């Protein structure tokens, strides 16, 4: 937050760059050293976090599936709207089943497949595609390649 607010102080100096006086340099004498030291501290802290980072992919998947499939509700909503259903009506259909998941501790995919109103608009394969975690992870290799190369 401090670095962000210091950038605002630097931006406020821009309109008066042609009028160099002590009021500008006093701001610069504070924000430049403070910001560079803070950014250095932040970078060193994040390097330490990344170096010591431990990832447990199976636990991550378990946590995702603890939602009983509710994490896929947005994709399902969009699939229904692509079939010409209004967003409001699609939202009601998805929400009705999502609330049952919480109340009954049920599986969202099973409820959707049993919902005759939704199944009028989607095939079983289309519903299964909405619940495919790999669709959400399809760009992970490209992202890692971009970050680490």
Give residue-wise pLDDT tens across range 77-132: 999 999 999 999 999 999 999 999 999 999 999 999 999 999 999 999 999 999 99
Separation of alpha carbons 34 and 25, rounded Å: 14
Q: What angle do CA 27, 33, 35 make, to 5 degrees?
A: 90
pLDDT at 26: 77
| b/e code 115-127 from CB counts within 10 Å (16+ = b) | beebeebbeeeeb
Share of the chain above pLDDT 90, in %: 73
Say whether pTM exceeds 0.85: no
Instruction: Determine the Cα–Cα distance for residues 89 and 27; give it in Å rounded to an integer.
Output: 55
- In CATH, which of 1.10.40.30, 3.30.750.24, 3.40.190.10, 3.30.70.260 is domain 60-136? 1.10.40.30
Place of tokens 């990344």: 50
């Amino acid at each position: 937050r401090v670095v962000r607010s210091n950038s605002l102080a630097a931006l406020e100096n821009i309109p008066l760059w042609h009028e160099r006086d002590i009021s500008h340099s006093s701001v610069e004498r504070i924000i430049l050293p403070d910001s560079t030291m803070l950014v250095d501290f932040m970078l060193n802290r994040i390097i330490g976090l990344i170096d010591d980072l431990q990832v447990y992919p199976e636990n991550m998947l378990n946590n995702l599936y603890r939602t009983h499939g509710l994490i896929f509700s947005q994709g399902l909503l969009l699939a229904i709207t692509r079939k010409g259903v209004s967003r409001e009506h699609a939202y009601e259909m998805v929400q009705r089943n999502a609330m049952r998941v919480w109340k009954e501790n049920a599986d969202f995919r099973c409820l959707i497949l049993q919902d005759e109103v939704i199944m009028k608009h989607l095939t079983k394969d289309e519903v299964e595609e909405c619940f495919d975690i790999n669709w959400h992870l399809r760009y992970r290799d490209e992202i890692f390649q971009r970050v680490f190369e």
